[in-house]
Amino acid sequence: MPSFSSALEYQSVPHHVFEQVRRSFSCLFTGEFSHLSEQDLNGGQLPAEADIEKFTLLSTEKISCLLLAHPDSRNSYLVGLCTDLNIIKSFLSLPWLINGLNDRGQTTWAQLQQYTQKAVTSLSPASLPLDNKNLIQWAHQLMLDMGNLKRPASTPLLSTSTLLQGIVTRIQRSEPLSSLIQSTLNEVCQWLCLDRLLIYQAVNLPPHPHQSDQSPDDDNSPYITYEARSGSEITSVLYHSDADCFTHDNVRQRYAQKIPTSQYYAVENVLEHYQQHPCLSNQLKRAGVRSQLIVPIWLEDTLWGLLVGHHCVKDPETDVKGASKQFRHWQSWEGNFLVHVAEHLSIAIRQADLQNQLQSQKLILKEQVEDRTQNLKDALMAAEAANKTKSEFLATISHELRTPLTYIIGMSATLLRWSFGDLSPRQRDYLNTIHSSGEQLLDVINDILEVAKIEAGRTVLEINEFSLSNLARSSLESFREEAQAKDVDLRINLRLSEAEDSFRADPRRIRQILANLLSNAVKFTDKNGRISLRVWRDPQNVILQVEDTGIGIPEAQQAVLFETFKQLETARQRQYPGAGLGLALTKQLVELHNGSIQVVSTPGKGSMFTVRIPLQSSDELSSPLQSVEPITGRIILLEDDESSASLICDLLTAANYQVIWVIEGSRIVHQVEILQPVAIILNHHLVSGNSQYIVDDLKRYVATSGIKVISLMDIGDIEAADGVSKDQSMDGFDDYLVKPINPPTLLSKIQALTMG
């Protein structure tokens, strides 16, 4: 060995390891540096006197490094690494080196002389751990120690496993696919000291940035979508494509059939390899490619694209003599490493596809949800509008029907009590049928109006203190006659202490709830049956329970029991009258009190309805709603004496008043609420005794509605009402009339009250 290198330590390594170390040096230097090798000599060969086969010298202003390869055996070199400036200066002054340089080499040699003179840092040759397995890693670590790399000196040395793990980490972080691919190509290109590393994509192509320059027929042609280069001197081939050379079918035919899954395809001399493919050969030549390593990227059984590594000449336009020496001998570990990279990229691509599909599904689902929500909103608005229209229609038509029905009921009752001549039995039957049918129809219309008012939100509770026991007894007694006609036993069980008897709610609505439940119980209970009304309290609620031994309700029909206009029988099977509004109205009235209603029933054994009404707060006191159709000039007359009633009716009718004659007082409050008269003339005797609650309800209602009330009294009642008892009897009344009626007094008092 020459004296200038005799002091170096040498390690025998295979030829391909030396080439890798040499390429690694070129990749690891950054900034301005000069590179000299045997390729810069005439003919690209060393003379025999050099006693070396290959060398590489790299220098910057801070560091110089000389790598020598002496012949050792057929497949290996004795490799030495030198950073000693004196030895490097001696090497640069060798005659065979100076005399053998070509034009490019002479320029580089001059630059190296300048760098060597300015170098201020040297590394003493220490005992270095050179062996066949870790020579490349040692070279990288040595450059790291010199602090002249493309990454900070504190960055750990990257190994192939570290690079692959980095790809896995980025996949796990769901890094955007384009960013993941590009960063992977940059790292791998640097690690393998490639001149160019690219992806030639064949399917699922992104929009081509130069699409306008291509013909429509080339829209689906594969092209290069990603690229990493070792430096700016390497020509970019990003977005390059040629419809004749690089169609998808050509890619599959040329590579997919030659490269089995998880294998690579190495081309060390593209000039010779592609002699039969001049189109492709010219493409590669223009890109400066001398050697390439090709790895397919598979998505299941579909060839997605190619991962291609290039070794290039620096100046593809001028191919120097001996260009055959510029080819790269690919190592198996390099191909296997790129195969692993391709596999990881395949996973990333598949994951990105799944994420895109998921995102697309989310967008579709979001649009469907928005459309469905809008449809539901539209349907809800339409339903609310329809419901409002229905409620308004029911309220209007109910008022229109109730007025003539009231006349029918009142006049038929008048004819039954007093008529112009005797009535035949058939005439009396007809009048009875008219009267009872009118009352039934009026009840149905009243229920319809009540339901419509509740659904429209126009019902307000009238909260007052009342006696639970009195209300329960009076409600039950009102059905006594009807129950006795069917031999049905009515029972009441009041579990109330004296302190629990007073309750705060809407007594009229509570009575209506009990009336509906008791009416159904009587209607559906056969002869010799039994109906029980139970009432008890807890601190905040009253519980009302109506139990009967009637026909019962099948379990399947109990779910629709409280729906409006719902009959549990078919039209042909119906044996019981009714419009199916009673229980629906009852449930609505219960819910107005924020209460609950439950039913337990067994077909053939009977039913039990349990209502729970909470104690209402005192701040819920409110006035009753007035009729939406006030009628002026209407007077209700409650009188059972035919002669007195006929005189009053004739006198007031002649004075242009509408008179409704009622002969029974149990429904007077309900009729007053419906008809909204300007005045009421009533006989005390028809609303007294056991039905005293009628007077109380009537007084409470008229006190808030402004309706004038006139008491119709006998002369004996006036004489007995002297003093305190008289004041009490007139409490809540606006005036009184004494029978026999004096026409001038009647008209004057009515006019004074209604016109005042």
Q: Which domains does the chain have, with CATH numbers?
A: 3-146 (no CATH), 192-330 (3.30.450.40), 461-620 (3.30.565.10), 634-755 (3.40.50.2300)
More confident residue, 571 or 311: 311
> Is residue 257 very low, low, confident or very high in pLDDT (cuts 50, 70, 90)?
low
Q: What is the Cβ-side half-sphere exposure of residue 628, based on CA atoms within 13 angstroms?
A: 16
Residue 307 CA, distance from chain mean position: 42
Percent of the chain, pLDDT > 70? 72
Query: In whole numbers, what is the pLDDT of the chain averaged over residues?
Result: 76
> Is residue 168 very low, low, confident or very high in pLDDT (cuts 50, 70, 90)?
confident
Q: Answer whether residue 726 shows pLDDT above 50.
A: no
E strand map for 157-288: 196-201, 223-229, 265-267
Mean pLDDT value of segment 717-733: 53
More confident residue, 104 or 686: 104
Mean pLDDT value of segment 246-260: 53
Report the alpha-carbon distance of residue 62 to residue 77 in Å, rounded: 28
> Is residue 649 very low, low, confident or very high in pLDDT (cuts 50, 70, 90)?
confident
User: What per-residue confidence (pLDDT) applies to 456?
Assistant: 66
Mean pLDDT value of segment 665-688: 78
> Is residue 26 very low, low, confident or very high in pLDDT (cuts 50, 70, 90)?
low
Residues 701, 653 contacting (CB under 8 angstroms): no
Mean pLDDT value of segment 424-440: 82
Q: Which of 721, 710, 672, 716 is nearest to 694 (CA)?
A: 672
Phi, psi for residue 605 in degrees, rounded to 5: -120, -25
More confident residue, 711 or 320: 711
Question: Residue 18 has which token pair?
Answer: 């030396």
Question: Residue 323 has which token pair?
Answer: 């260009």
User: What per-residue confidence (pLDDT) applies to 215?
Assistant: 45
- Helix 103-118 and helix 85-92, axial crossing angle in degrees, nearest 10: 150
Mean pLDDT value of segment 704-722: 70
> What single-letter DSSP state applies at residue 627?
P
The dihedral of CA 152, 157, 160, 161: what is its sign? negative
Q: Answer whether residue 326 shows pLDDT above 60.
A: yes
Report the alpha-carbon distance of residue 220 to residue 353 in Å, rounded: 19
Task: Summarize pLDDT for 437-473 with one digit per residue, the tens.
Answer: 887 787 777 777 777 777 666 677 888 899 999 999 9
User: What per-residue confidence (pLDDT) applies to 199?
Assistant: 94
Task: Summarize pLDDT for 736-754 with one digit per residue, the tens.
Answer: 888 878 777 887 888 788 7
Q: Answer whether residue 121 shows pLDDT above 50.
A: no
User: What per-residue confidence (pLDDT) applies to 278?
Assistant: 83
Report the alpha-carbon distance of residue 469 to residue 536 in Å, rounded: 10
pTM over 0.85: no
Q: Answer whether residue 209 shows pLDDT above 80.
A: no
Give the number of residues written for the chain: 756
> Is residue 136 very low, low, confident or very high in pLDDT (cuts 50, 70, 90)?
very low
> What single-letter DSSP state applies at residue 101?
B
Phi, psi for residue 617 in degrees, rounded to 5: -75, 155
User: What per-residue confidence (pLDDT) applies to 341?
Assistant: 93
E strand map for 50-209: 54-59, 64-71, 76-82, 196-201
Task: Summarize pLDDT for 186-195 with one digit per residue, the tens.
Answer: 989 888 888 8
User: What per-residue confidence (pLDDT) applies to 12?
Assistant: 78
Question: Residue 203 has which token pair?
Answer: 């399917």
Residues 490, 448 contacting (CB under 8 angstroms): no
Q: Is 635 exposed, middle or buried (0-12, 13-18, 19+ CB in 10 A)?
A: buried
**Least confident residue range of 37-46, 434-443, 717-726:** 717-726
CB under 8 A, 24+ apart: contacts of 434-442: 434/408, 435/409, 438/405, 438/408, 438/409, 438/412, 439/409, 440/577, 441/401, 441/405, 442/402, 442/405, 442/406, 442/409
> Is residue 115 very low, low, confident or very high in pLDDT (cuts 50, 70, 90)?
confident
The single residue listed with the structure tokens 């209407």 is 634
**Least confident residue range of 12-16, 44-48, 154-158:** 154-158
**Least confident residue range of 7-16, 362-371, 459-468:** 7-16
Q: Answer whether residue 720 shows pLDDT above 80.
A: no
Task: Summarize pLDDT for 67-102 with one digit per residue, the tens.
Answer: 888 888 767 888 888 877 788 888 888 989 888 898
Q: Answer whether residue 596 shows pLDDT above 50.
A: yes
Q: How do 596-602 and 464-467 pair as beta strands?
A: unpaired
More confident residue, 578 or 391: 391
